[in-house]
Amino acid sequence: MEVSKKIQSAYEVAKKARENAHAVYSNFFVGSAIGIKGSDEIYPGCNVENISYGATICAERNSILSAVARNGKIELDYVVVVCDTDPVTVPCALCLQVISEFAKPDLPIYLGDLEGIKKELKFSDLLPAPFDTLDC
C-alpha cells in the first residue's frame, strides 16, 4: 500500500519499537507510532506485558500516554500499528476506547506487518460508538 513519507517514517518508528516489546507471556510483539496535531514528532510505543495481565500496557496506549506526558492536551493525527500477523491486527477494544479520548471519528489508523503498511481504516470503522460523556 502506498503511503505518505510521514506515515512511512511512522511505520519505521513503530516497527523499531516493536523490537523492544516485553512480550514474555504472549510472545505477541506489537509496535506503534502516533502523530499529534501541531507537531512533527513521532511517538513510539510497544507492548509491555506483566504476569498480572491486567497490568499489561498495549503499544498504542504506550504511545498515547507518552505524548500526553510530554505535551498535555493532544489531538491524534494518525496511529500506526505493526505486528507480525497475516492479516494485520487492529487495536484492541481497550486501546480504541483510549484513542477515543484524543481522536475524531475520521482519524486514520494504519495497520502494518513486518513488510509494510497493508491497510488504512478510519477510527470510526473500528469503534463506531465509543463510550463517552453522552453515556453517563
pLDDT for residue 62 is more than 70: yes
Question: Mind spelling out the 3-state secondary structure of the chain?
Answer: CCCCHHHHHHHHHHHHHHCCCECCCCCCCCEEEEEECCCCCEEEEECECCCCHHHCECHHHHHHHHHHHHHCCCCEEEEEEECCCCCCCCCCHHHHHHHHCCCCCCCEEEEEECCEEEEEEEHHHHCCCCCCHHHC
Task: Give catalytic residues, as residue numbers.
Answer: 60
pLDDT digits (tens, 9 = 90+) for 15-39: 999 999 999 999 999 999 999 999 9
pTM of the model: 0.96
The structural domains of the chain, ordered by start, are 5-126 (3.40.140.10)
- How much is the pLDDT for 132? 83
pLDDT for residue 133 is more than 90: no
- How much is the pLDDT for 135? 63
